Chains A and B, each alone.
Chain A
Amino acid sequence: MAIRVTMKISLAPISYCWSKADVEQFYQQVANSNIDTVYLGETVCGRRRELKFSDYLDLANMLKAHGKHVVLSTMALIEAQSELNELKRAIDNGDFSIEANDMAAVFYAHQAKVPFVCGPTINNYNRASLDLLHQKGMYRFVMPCELSKDWLQAVINTDQKPSFEIEVLGHGYMPLAHSARCFTAKHYQLPKDKCQTICQRHSKGLLAQTQESQPLLRLNGIQTQSAAQVNLINQIPEMITMGVDYWRISPSKLADVNLGHELAALLANLTASDVNQAGELPTKLQPFTPASDQHHCNGYWLGQPGMQYTESAQLAP
């Protein structure tokens, strides 16, 4: 019997401040898609209150009813006691596992015996650290975005197979940094405490270009993202071979749900033999390969500066 491909598509939490109506419309579409796993919740700024925790919980239950695996995502930068209280509320939801994006979430999830995923902002830079977090309850980790294929190989290829799952950000704008300062509010000359959640004006962040018109960054409140979207579609076959369990999409528009839907459909019908160089998969992925006029990058995966993009034709087989 042919061995089926087990890699699944996951959807990262929306990292921007969208209206409640837009968020609900987005997840309605997700509910009707082939996407396997959905991360849900505010990860960037506690001042964003378009959706309350109970709204996210409603969405989580709706998605679960549609057969999705739901994980509740938590904040990356936690400074105030009120934010810790919110975090504990998420951990104590009684049903869903959580995505820890700060060590505080690891601490409280471990205490509450709630299994967790380590998100990309937890500093996992070697196998011993990953094994240590696994002992604390981590069942999956999202590779920090600045790490590479070679790094991942070195972490997987040891005497003992990892007892946790591996997720890699395959598509979307990358979270590069978090600050106390809100760059969007600063741009509009608003104090952070009276920001009017002005970041809502920029549904995929505020683009910052160099003085030579090179797109460099996207300012998303206190978060700084890459101006280029990471795009590892052509690397899906090698990720399957390596044993990557989840290929993550970080959404910035409704159409990203379609991408996830179609990729998931494609993966569901593959066998291991389709994945190799001569197999079906590389050909089937071609329609998804980015057009050259779009701004994409894959440098980190290739062990280069993150902003760079190398077309697969130029990559050694």
Chain B
Amino acid sequence: MELLCPAGNLTSLKAALNAGADAVYLGLKDDTNARSFAGLNFSVTQLTQATKLAHSQGRKVFLTLNTFPKPGQEHRWYQAVDIAAQLGMDALIVADLSLLSYAHQHYPHLPLHLSVQASATNLGALSFYKEAFNIERAVLPRVLSIKQVRDLAKVSPVDLEVFAFGSLCIMAEGRCHLSSYVTGQSPNTGGSCSPANHVRWQDSGADKLTRLNDVLIDKADASQQLGYPVVCKGRYVAEHEQDAKYLLESPTSLNTLSLLPDLAKAGVASLKIEGRQRSPAYVTQVTQVWRKAIDTYLAAPDSFAEQPQWSQALAKVSEGQITTLGAYERQWQ
């Protein structure tokens, strides 16, 4: 079972490799990937260095091309595919049909991983992408219960990758317009969810407020912590009620350490750590814990038990410091 870690820059890439990642995923410095933030990601020169570094240590490196080519600008996405092929990168993570088609036609030996942004949650959708573009692997959206993951893994025509840890997207990824409804930009169109230039942290008397393009997402007193303002994790008032509540989800993040044996038994090929936008310290911390957990499990699958110090270490870097199993746990749904 592969441990796949995020890298927003070369320092994070080195951190991930040092801490025991089997593979690292990263993106170019533009909107061909959905973490298009200033100061983040790789130039072509840096990408070359990153690929060499990973390969010299026998690890894999994947290029994330998970946004949708814009009409008239398709060539930028095609160029990114060409670059990855020339560098001998180990796979492309792609969501868009035309881009999958381009890569499949021009570089049939370059493995294609279906991005979570393609939102393939069932056998029919996976079969479509396998048949049309011979994808090797698919990243599952965070909408399936562990039972559904298990059932799908039994029949899937491709390897499956799941999110193991990090920010929790609660919608079927790639089909969520909440960010663009409020800001005009979404992962699909502008390259990120809740872009930082629309975010405002405000003090109002004793309260702290978070706004996204002026829309009030959350309000808290000094004793409470506010999360980064994304629409799905705001506190709102339901009709006929007075009090504001987290009507969709509270600021929590995903941690599936306790599910490790289930995911392994299901035959999941890769465990993905979210967070290309996070610091090298985060990458180190999370990669170390997951490396340890996977090795512990593989050494003695039957006696695996989640160590309290693992979860404590992970909780320190979690959003809102609260973690959940999300949709893997039916009760959450």
CB distance B124 to A187 under 8 Å?
A: no
CB distance B68 to A123 under 8 Å?
A: yes
Interface residues of A in 110-134 (CB under 8 A from B): 110, 121, 123, 125-129, 132-133
Interface string of B121-150 (1 = CB under 8 A from A): 111110111011000000000111100100
Question: A154 to B128, alpha carbons, bound, how many Å?
Answer: 27
For residue A290, CB closer than 8 A to chain B, the reply is no
| Residue from A146, A209, A210, A217 in contact with B180 in the complex, judged by beta carbons closer than 8 Å | A146
CB distance A126 to B236 under 8 Å?
A: no
Question: A209 to B97, alpha carbons, bound, how many Å?
Answer: 36
CB distance B247 to A104 under 8 Å?
A: no
Question: A132 to B97, alpha carbons, bound, how many Å?
Answer: 8
Interface residues of B in 295-333 (CB under 8 A from A): 327, 330-333
| Residue from B181, B184, B219, B239 in contact with A303 in the complex, judged by beta carbons closer than 8 Å | B184
| Residue from B128, B180, B236 in contact with A208 in the complex, judged by beta carbons closer than 8 Å | B236
CB distance A104 to B177 under 8 Å?
A: no
| Min distance, Cβ A310 to any Cβ of chain B, angstroms | 13
Question: A299 to B74, alpha carbons, bound, how many Å?
Answer: 24
Question: A103 to B131, alpha carbons, bound, how many Å?
Answer: 12
CB distance B171 to A178 under 8 Å?
A: yes
Question: A144 to B187, alpha carbons, bound, how many Å?
Answer: 14
What secondary structure prevails in chain A residues at the interface with B?
A: mixed
Question: A5 to B229, alpha carbons, bound, how many Å?
Answer: 46
For residue A254, CB closer than 8 A to chain B, the reply is no
* Interface hit among A19-27, A77-85, A237-245, A277-285: A77-85
Interface residues of B in 189-223 (CB under 8 A from A): 189, 213, 215-217, 219
| Min distance, Cβ A80 to any Cβ of chain B, angstroms | 7
Question: A155 to B120, alpha carbons, bound, how many Å?
Answer: 25
The chain B residue with its CB closest to the CB of A228 is: B181
| Min distance, Cβ A102 to any Cβ of chain B, angstroms | 6
| Residue from B121, B144, B189, B232 in contact with A177 in the complex, judged by beta carbons closer than 8 Å | B232
| Min distance, Cβ A141 to any Cβ of chain B, angstroms | 12
Question: A212 to B189, alpha carbons, bound, how many Å?
Answer: 28
| Min distance, Cβ A137 to any Cβ of chain B, angstroms | 12
Chain A: interface residue count, which band? 35 or more
Question: A192 to B56, alpha carbons, bound, how many Å?
Answer: 49
For residue A183, CB closer than 8 A to chain B, the reply is yes
19 contacts between A and B (CB under 8 A): A79-B121, A79-B143, A79-B145, A81-B151, A103-B119, A103-B128, A107-B125, A125-B189, A126-B98, A128-B102, A129-B98, A146-B180, A177-B176, A180-B172, A208-B237, A210-B237, A211-B244, A212-B216, A305-B181
Besides the known contacts A176-B181, A177-B172, A305-B183, 12 further A-B residue pairs in the complex with CB atoms under 8 A apart: A80-B122, A83-B122, A123-B174, A123-B175, A126-B96, A176-B177, A177-B232, A181-B327, A187-B247, A193-B330, A216-B215, A303-B184
- Which B residues are within 8 Å of any A CB, using their own CB? 68-72, 74, 95-98, 101-102, 117-125, 127-129, 131-132, 142-145, 148, 151, 170-172, 174-178, 180-184, 186, 188-189, 213, 215-217, 219, 231-232, 234-239, 244, 247-249, 327, 330-333
